[in-house]
Structure 1
Amino acid sequence: MRYFLHLLLVFIVVQSGLAQNENSPGKVLTDSLEAIYDSGSLVGFSVALVNEDGIQYVRGFGSADLTAQKAYEINTIQNIASISKTFIGIALLKARELGLLDLDEPVNTYLPFEVIHPYHPESPITLRHLATHTSGITDPDEYDEKGYILRNAENGEDAVYDDFLPPSQMLSLEEFQQRILSKDGQWYRKRTFLKKKPGERFEYSNIGAGLAALALEKATGTPFSAFTRTHIFEPLEMTHSGWFPEEVDFSKHSRTYTDAGIPIAPYTLVNFPDGGLMTSAEDLGKYLTELIRGYTGKGKILSPESFTALFTPQLQAAQFSSRSDGVYNDEYNMGVFMGFSAHDQIGHTGGDPGVSTFMFFNQKTGKGKLMLVNTDLNKKGVETFKAIWKTLETFEGQF
């Protein structure tokens, strides 16, 4: 049930904290986005435009909770889906700086159980393979069928997708990974692995991303959530960000909705590092600003050498069975859990039930933009998303 916005890739309210004059680009942009929202089918969303100087525009539109009549604000938080993976990349590189792990070391060096490629047991899977989606690990059926857990046993009339499981079936990240990838795991199958050797073929892997985060936990002796808070959220003053409800002010959390506007039952992710970060447009704008600064050698959460590694494309054409050269295709090439398009865009997309997200910056102009949506996308929703994104694209050079 993991939606990666491939359809979008093919086609492709609260006042801002920034002052807006009547005829300023910010005011015109706000009016344009409000008009799109009014004619569209999204319940709520937020956007931001940034450059290396910081957030230039940030605003929320629509509703974070229709029943409670709560507006979607710049500090409304929601799950950002696979954009979360970029935080795994930052964390791996910080741990490497601290001398706690090596990206080219076999991942089994750090794990409490062995992960052996069944078709190529002589070829170890490394952290770099995981970070570039070339490990050979694919997502089995259990990823969706066992990976989405309801937060509450009772959900009233909220929409509950078929793959949502009751809270009693929640597992730890370690147990979930062990059941899928360890040879004696309950859900282990050889077909979870490609027949290609590790490093030979790009195959996007949510399970692989979770495994990298688990390895980081074991290598550092620190829970992944705590490591990212210490080394990313706190230095960047991301005060509305966290992986679990108890780490954030949950009163600011947005409901998510079906494309018919029905509330989706609150859920959590077992394999949480691959898509479970809760954050706001303002906080994610701070993060995107730091990525732009890091790209130009001015970042503060990693060394220049680590930022260079983050933003160095790792793959060759022969490692892809096929790939799109769309402007915002984040799978044209990979850094360390960082996506590259064929058109100078660096960032990531994301999708989960009731969640659609984009975050990119242009490596030539240094301009970045992001969008967080709290609604499943039907055909009209895709068109609305596209219209909003195109509008941001039009205005990003005016700030």
Structure 2
Amino acid sequence: MRKSILLFLVFWVMISCRSIHPSNHAHSSIHDSLDVAIDAIYRQGIFNGFAVSIVDEKGTLYQKGFGFSNVKEKKPYMEQTIQNIASISKTLVGIALLKAQELGKLNLDDPVQQYLPFKIHHPNFPQTPITIRQLATHTSSILDNEFYLTKNYFLKPDQNLQGVKLNFDDEQIFNPSDSLISMAEYLENVLSENGKWNKGSFSTYQPGTLYEYSNTGTALAAFVIEKATGKSFDDFTKEYILNPLQMKDSGWSFKDVNFSKFSQLYENPDTPLPYYQSATYPDGSFITNINDLSKYLAELIKGYNGKGTLLSPKSYKEYFTPQLKASNFTERNDKNPYSESYNVSIFMGFGYTGYIGHTGGDPGVMSILFFDPKNNLGRIMIFNTNFSDKKGNDAFYGIWNVLETYQSNLKKLR
């Protein structure tokens, strides 16, 4: 009897191995081919280091780092390497707004003034309230003025500045670390009537009428969350986004992460930049890696399909409902399917073909995160090197397109 059972088990294992092995081989073959295709573009020398991933609603199908997080030290860019991701950060502000609304702390159609300790109004339309929804859809009329463009980046304390460039694009300056101001101080002085840096902070349009991308408006939305919930934006997002998704390597400041994993950032392959922070940090200073960000995108895809865990189906529906019309745009990007500026929901972008996500760009940072709601497949890329020419653009989207070429086959083999 024991011998018969043993023979049956051996036969079952042999059959199982036969059925599993080809799939494993195919999966490995696709991964290897994808690695080679991306590595060929990396070897053009345009980017020092980056990480990419493909995800669906169940999780990660592929992720990998390429190149170096520190060229001088020959430190590889890995799946665990962290860096700031620029404006993809804004999508977390949207999730936080909907969570605060779920908790009964605010309503998207509330005037922002209801939550502020200082007075803000459009100087040409003082009777027209600016609402939270307008902030979330970039229709608040709030602009990024000259102070934002030149005085909003601050050096990380206690870093070696030898050999790094202390300005970006010869315009944006990395200000001394001891001059760092709080988000509250920045917002009051840039937006209030008597603010020290309020010149050029509002457009000529009435609040609620025109789409004008605003980093300052994003920071104001995060500040409203703080005032409405009584918690810092960092703590609120940690409690309701990072912890539930087990995003253990992510945070909003250097003290929240393991800095030894942080990538050096580069203006170009030969020019390292310093580590920096921002007073308006919710607009683009989220620090993460490809592993944690893949968990986040998988959650967004689930949320779009009414199965998310961070928000209720009702909240996710609002999060993913396009808010604007053609009349809200003076120019509408209908060429690039991966521009988030064709339409927006709550700090979430829509390309003209229906792709949903966001892009990001900051000193030393290029990033992109989108998913296709028709097939529930998403892609992410995070780079530690800027580019500004056609060759760089072609390489960036070349990698993006390679990921698309392989994504369906990877999903079939799940």
**Is the 1:47–1:58 Cα contact (8 Å) retained in structure 2?**
yes
Matched residue, 1:391: 402
Q: 1:139 aligns with which of 141, 144, 151?
A: 144
Does 1:34 pair with 2:30?
Answer: no
| 1:299-330 Cα deviation digits (max 9, x unpaired) | 00000000000000000110100111121111
Poorly superposed stretches of 4+, deviation over 3 Å = 19-23
Aligned partner of 2:34: which letter?
A: L
Give the secondary structure class of the aligned counterpart of 1:350: strand
**Is the 1:344–1:363 Cα contact (8 Å) retained in structure 2?**
yes
**Is the 2:90–2:347 Cα contact (8 Å) retained in structure 1?**
yes
Matched residue, 1:11: none
**Paired residues for 1:297-308 under 5 Å:** 297-308=306-317
**Is the 2:45–2:269 Cα contact (8 Å) retained in structure 1?**
no
Does 1:166 pair with 2:176?
Answer: yes
Change in 2 beyond 3 A, CA 1:72/1:21: farther
Give the secondary structure class of the aligned counterpart of 1:258: strand
Matched residue, 1:278: 287
Matched residue, 1:231: 240
Query: Hey, what's the Cα distance between the residues in 2 that align with 1:44 and 1:197?
Result: 43
**Paired residues for 1:30-109 under 5 Å:** 30-109=35-114
Aligned partner of 1:182: which letter?
A: S
Which stretch of the first structure deviates more once superposed, 266-275 or 162-171? Answer: 162-171
| 1:184-238 Cα deviation digits (max 9, x unpaired) | 110112x321222111000000000000001110110000011101000000011
Does 1:249 pair with 2:258?
Answer: yes
> TM-score normalized by structure 1?
0.93
Pairwise CA distance, 1:33 = 0.7
Query: Hey, what's the Cα distance between the residues in 2 that align with 1:343 and 1:139?
Result: 28
Change in 2 beyond 3 A, CA 1:183/1:226: same
Matched residue, 1:289: 298
Give the secondary structure class of the aligned counterpart of 1:45: strand
Query: Hey, what's the Cα distance between the residues in 2 that align with 1:395 and 1:124?
Result: 48
Matched residue, 2:344: 334
Report percent identity of matched pairs. Answer: 45
| 1:326-364 Cα deviation digits (max 9, x unpaired) | 211111001000000111200000000010000000011
Query: Hey, what's the Cα distance between the residues in 2 that align with 1:37 and 1:79?
Result: 21
Q: Structure 1 regions of 5+ residues with no counterpart?
A: 1-18
Query: Hey, what's the Cα distance between the residues in 2 that align with 1:218 and 1:23?
Result: 50
Query: Hey, what's the Cα distance between the residues in 1 that align with 2:40 and 2:256?
Result: 35
Pairwise CA distance, 1:239 = 0.8
Q: Report the number of matched residues.
A: 380
Change in 2 beyond 3 A, CA 1:318/1:42: same
Give the secondary structure class of the aligned counterpart of 2:97: helix
Query: Hey, what's the Cα distance between the residues in 2 that align with 1:322 and 1:66?
Result: 40
Give the secondary structure class of the aligned counterpart of 2:43: helix
RMSD (Å), alpha carbons: 1.3
| 1:90-121 Cα deviation digits (max 9, x unpaired) | 00000000000111010011111111111111
**Is the 1:20–1:26 Cα contact (8 Å) retained in structure 2?**
no
Does 1:353 pair with 2:363?
Answer: yes
**Is the 1:82–1:348 Cα contact (8 Å) retained in structure 2?**
yes
| 1:158-196 Cα deviation digits (max 9, x unpaired) | 11115111112100000011110011110112x321222
Query: Hey, what's the Cα distance between the residues in 2 that align with 1:68 and 1:268?
Result: 23
Pairwise CA distance, 1:23 = 5.5
Pairwise CA distance, 1:88 = 0.3
> TM-score normalized by structure 2?
0.90
